[in-house]
A and B are shown apart, each in its own frame.
Chain A
Amino acid sequence: MGLADTIKKRPWIFIVIVVTLIVIAFFFSLNTGASTMGPKDVIQTLLGNGTDKHQLILFEFRLPRIVIAILVGAGLAVSGAILQSITKNEIAESGILGINAGAGLAVVLFIFFFQTINLAISSNYLLPIAALFGAILAAVIIYLFAWKDGVSPVRLILVGIGVNAGFNAILIIFQLKMDPQDFTEAITWLSGSIWGTDWSYVLAILPWIIILIPLTMIKAPSLNILHMGDEIASSLGIHVEKERGLLLLIAVALAGASVSVAGNITFLGLIAPHLVRRIIGPKHQFLIPGSALMGALLLVVADIIGKNLLAPSEIPVGIVVSALGAPYFIYLLIKTN
Chain B
Amino acid sequence: MANAKKHKDREINSQPENRPIFASVILFGGTIALFLALGASVSLGASEIDFKTVWSAIFQFNSELTSHQIIQEVRLPRAISGALVGAFLAVSGALLQGITRNPLAAPSIMGITDGAAFALAIVFSFFPTTGYSMIMFWAFLGAGLGTILVFGIGALAKGGLTPVKLALAGIAVGALLSSLASGIAIYNQVAQNMSFWYAGGLVGTQWISIKLLLPVGIIGLGIAFILAHSITVLNLGEDVAKGLGQRTFFVKGLAIIVVMLLTGASVSVAGAIGFIGLVIPHITRFLVGTDYRWVIPCASILGAILLVLADIGARMLNPPFETPVGAITAVIGVPFFLYLARKGGNA
Contact A152 B344 (CB under 8 A): no
Partner of A159, one of B159, B173, B183, B338: B338
Contact A145 B338 (CB under 8 A): yes
Q: Beta-carbon contacts of B290-334 to A below 8 Å, as 1s and 0s?
A: 000000000000000000000000000110011110111011011
Q: For the complex formed, measure the closest distance between the CB of B245 and the CB atoms of chain A, giving whole angstroms.
A: 33
Contacts of B195 in A (CB 8 A): 187
How many chain B residues sit at the interface, stated as a range, is 35 or more
Contacts of B187 in A (CB 8 A): 310, 313
- A13 CB–B CB distance under 8 Å: no
- B254 CB–A CB distance under 8 Å: no
Q: What is the chain B residue whose CB lies nearest that of A192? A: B179
| Alpha-carbon gap, A335 to B183, bound state (A) | 28
Q: Beta-carbon contacts of A304-337 to B below 8 Å, as 1s and 0s?
A: 0000011001111001101101110110011111
Contact B323 A152 (CB under 8 A): no
A-facing residues in B236-253 (Cβ within 8 Å): none
Contacts of B322 in A (CB 8 A): 176
Q: Is the interface of B mostly helix, strand, loop or mixed?
A: helix
| Alpha-carbon gap, A168 to B130, bound state (A) | 32
| Alpha-carbon gap, A300 to B293, bound state (A) | 55
Known: A145-B341, A153-B347, A162-B337. A310 touches B153 (CB 8 A): no
- A191 CB–B CB distance under 8 Å: yes
| Alpha-carbon gap, A139 to B318, bound state (A) | 29
| Alpha-carbon gap, A156 to B164, bound state (A) | 10
Contact B327 A173 (CB under 8 A): yes
| Alpha-carbon gap, A336 to B163, bound state (A) | 15
Contact B171 A96 (CB under 8 A): yes
Contact B323 A319 (CB under 8 A): no
Contact B334 A169 (CB under 8 A): yes
Candidate in A146, A166, A170, A330 with the most chain B CB atoms within 10 angstroms: A330
Q: For the complex formed, measure the closest distance between the CB of B158 and the CB atoms of chain A, giving whole angstroms.
A: 5
| Alpha-carbon gap, A322 to B186, bound state (A) | 15
B-facing residues in A156-196 (Cβ within 8 Å): 156-159, 161-163, 165-166, 168-170, 172-173, 176-177, 187, 191
Q: Is the interface of A mostly helix, strand, loop or mixed?
A: helix
Contact A163 B338 (CB under 8 A): yes
Partner of B179, one of A170, A313, A314, A323: A323
Partner of A161, one of B167, B327, B328, B335: B167
Partner of A172, one of B182, B183, B327: B327
| Alpha-carbon gap, A176 to B338, bound state (A) | 26
Known: A153-B347, A176-B318, A315-B183. A169 touches B331 (CB 8 A): yes
B-facing residues in A204-229 (Cβ within 8 Å): none
Partner of A166, one of B104, B330, B342: B330
| Alpha-carbon gap, A228 to B51, bound state (A) | 67
Q: For the complex formed, measure the closest distance between the CB of A94 and the CB atoms of chain B, giving whole angstroms.
A: 14
- B218 CB–A CB distance under 8 Å: no
Contacts of B344 in A (CB 8 A): 158
Contact B164 A158 (CB under 8 A): yes
Q: What is the chain A residue whose CB lies nearest that of B168? A: A333
Contact B199 A172 (CB under 8 A): yes
Q: For the complex formed, measure the closest distance between the CB of A236 and the CB atoms of chain B, giving whole angstroms.
A: 25
Partner of A158, one of B163, B182, B318: B163
Contact B175 A266 (CB under 8 A): yes
Contacts of A159 in B (CB 8 A): 338, 341-342, 345
Q: Please name 7 pairs of A and B residues whose Cβ atoms are closer than 8 Å in the assembled complex, sorted by A.
A: A145-B342, A155-B341, A161-B168, A165-B337, A169-B328, A266-B175, A322-B175
The 4 closest A-B pairs by CB, nearest first: A155-B345, A169-B330, A158-B341, A166-B334
Interface residues of B (CB under 8 A from A): 104, 153, 156-159, 163-165, 167-169, 171-173, 175-176, 178-180, 182-183, 186-187, 189, 195, 199, 274-275, 317-318, 321-324, 326-328, 330-331, 333-335, 337-338, 340-342, 344-347
**Additional 11 contacts, C-beta under 8 A, given A177-B321, A330-B176:** A152-B347, A158-B167, A158-B345, A165-B337, A166-B331, A166-B334, A169-B330, A176-B321, A326-B175, A329-B175, A334-B158
